[in-house]
Amino acid sequence: MNQLRWDPTLEEWVAYATHRQDRTFLPPAEYCPLCPTKPGGFPTEVPRESYEIAVFENRFPSFAPDAPEPEEKGSALTPTASGRGVCEVVLYSDEHDATLAGMSEGRIRNLVEVWADRYEELGSLDFVQYVFIFENKGEAIGVTLHHPHGQIYAYPFIPPRPARELRAAREYSSGDRCLHCDLLSQEHEDGRRIVAKGEHFSAFVPFYAHFPYEAHVYARRCIPSIADLNGEERVDLAHLLKRLLVGYDNLFGFSLPYMMVMHQAPTDGEDYRGVAHFHIEFYPPNRTADKLKYLASSETGAGAFIADALPEQTAATLREALESAAP
Amino acid sequence: MTGEPMKKERVPKEDGRYIIFYSFEDEDEKEKVEDSGEDSTS
């Protein structure tokens, strides 16, 4: 059952997918459903003995292409809608214990290619308005499978946070300036929160970071989506992601949990040039090696983040972690 | 490390879902070969 219900108090859709209660939860490695199917072994999601990168439709999707109109009709005040969309799982490797940080730049470069392909294919579907590429890593984030993978939600609407960001960028860009380009310029000029710079991408802890070690990876060129990256930019993105992820793992000496999300142009047919600026945001939940930042009452009930550390301090620490991890 | 060309194979699953296999020329291996070639001629 995939159903949307409108929350008129926050003016946003809430998705209901009750079948997800039954999804696989932290199985032992020998029963990992994302590993290749071995001869004589149990059938996994991947009917091959090996693979490089694979993408499949989630067995427990939050949105489904064939979601019917909901039986529950709601009201004029609280309407419902079909949860029509697509949820995909992106398998980064057939090695169960691999992580994105441990992969070669070449593999990450290939993954960029796959992400761009999925953005274009899913975005071309007439019922998809936003292609959201993300990764939840680590049990602290609530992952249910350890095998290295990310996910893609192709939403039938523009989700609230990107919508809010796009609205702000559109208002700002009315003066012919890109909000994100100006933010990036400001970070470059200041320099204190820059974590790493490539030829075509920069990583920094934003001036207004919500999580202590939050990092944003911005394309220098003002492009709406990952599909607009040229070959050199794709190589540089892989290089910078590798540096950042290795630095994250070096920060506290363990594989750091994080949420990784991509913000880019919606696929609703509107023109987002100069408004959407492709970037990736990382939100690690750790504020120290053994303490997590929880989204408690102020963050969840008031929408007001309370941060425990200044971005200038955490950026310096993270930059040091990247530099000391460099070969 | 160009990441190209990419091969894409879409396979239907028994329950109606799909799985897509992406494969690439192994550019990392290429780089290693190129590197070793440079060493041998130096």
One DSSP character per residue, A59-117 reads SS-SSBTTPPPPS--B-SSSBEEE-B-EEEEEE--S-TT--TTTS-HHHHHHHHHHHHH
Q: Mean per-residue pLDDT for B12-21?
A: 95
pTM over 0.95: no
- Whole-angstrom CA distances from A292 to A135, A288, B24 are 18, 7, 39
Find out whether A118 and A244 touch, Cβ atoms under 8 Å. no
Indicate whether A6 belongs to any domain: no
**Domains in chain B, number:** 1
Query: Which residue, among A37, A35, A48, A56, has the nearest Cα to B10 in the 3D structure?
Result: A56
Find out whether A116 and A102 touch, Cβ atoms under 8 Å. no
Indicate whether A91 belongs to any domain: yes
Indicate whether A123 belongs to any domain: yes
Predicted confidence at residue A20, as pLDDT, reads 57
Partner-chain residue, chosen from A56, A112, A114, that has the shortest CB–CB distance to B19: A56
Indicate whether A75 belongs to any domain: no
Q: How far apart (Å, rounded) are the C-alpha atoms in residues A85 and A298?
A: 32
CA-angle at A89, arms to A88 and A93, nearest 5°: 145
- On whether any CB of chain A is under 8 Å from the CB of B3, the answer is yes
Indicate whether B23 belongs to any domain: yes
Residues of chain A with C-beta less than 8 angstroms from the C-beta of B35: none
**Domains in chain A, number:** 1
- On whether any CB of chain A is under 8 Å from the CB of B10, the answer is no
Residues of chain A with C-beta less than 8 angstroms from the C-beta of B20: 54-56
Quote ipTM for the complex. Answer: 0.93
The CATH number for A54's domain is 3.30.428.10
Indicate whether A10 belongs to any domain: no
Q: How far apart (Å, rounded) are the C-alpha atoms in residues A260 and A137?
A: 8
| Tens of each residue's pLDDT in chain A, 327 residues | 789 999 999 999 999 988 655 666 667 777 899 999 999 988 999 999 999 999 999 998 989 999 999 999 999 999 999 999 999 999 999 999 999 999 999 999 999 999 999 999 999 999 999 999 999 999 899 888 889 999 999 999 999 999 999 999 999 987 689 999 999 999 999 999 999 999 999 999 999 999 999 999 999 999 999 999 999 999 999 999 999 999 999 999 999 999 999 999 999 999 999 999 999 999 999 999 999 999 999 999 999 999 999 999 999 999 999 999 987
Range of the domain at A260: 24-59+85-325
Indicate whether B13 belongs to any domain: yes
Indicate whether B22 belongs to any domain: yes
Predicted confidence at residue A74, as pLDDT, reads 96
Q: Chains A and B: how many Cβ contacts under 8 Å?
A: 69
Indicate whether A65 belongs to any domain: no
Whether residues B19 and A238 touch (CB distance < 8 A) is answered with no
Range of the domain at B13: 6-35
Whether residues B19 and A45 touch (CB distance < 8 A) is answered with yes
- Whole-angstrom CA distances from A195 to A20, A213, A225, A298 are 38, 11, 23, 29
Distance from CA of B14 to the nearest CA of A (A): 10
Active-site annotation holds for A239: no
Whether residues B1 and A55 touch (CB distance < 8 A) is answered with no
Q: Mean per-residue pLDDT for B19-36?
A: 66
Indicate whether B21 belongs to any domain: yes
Structure tokens at A292: 């997590």
Q: Mean per-residue pLDDT for B6-35?
A: 80
Predicted confidence at residue B32, as pLDDT, reads 46
Cα A88 to the chain's mean position, in Å?
Answer: 13
- For chain B, the first-to-last Cα distance in angstroms comes to 23
Residue among B7, B24, B27, B34 with most chain A CBs within 10 A, to mutate: B24
Furthest-apart CA atoms within chain A: distance in Å: 64
Query: Which residue, among B37, B29, B20, B8, has the nearest Cα to A54 in the 3D structure?
Result: B20
Predicted confidence at residue A28, as pLDDT, reads 74
Query: Which residue, among A92, A69, A89, has the nearest Cα to A79 in the 3D structure?
Result: A69
Structure tokens at A213: 């070690």
Distance from CA of A268 to the nearest CA of B (A): 24
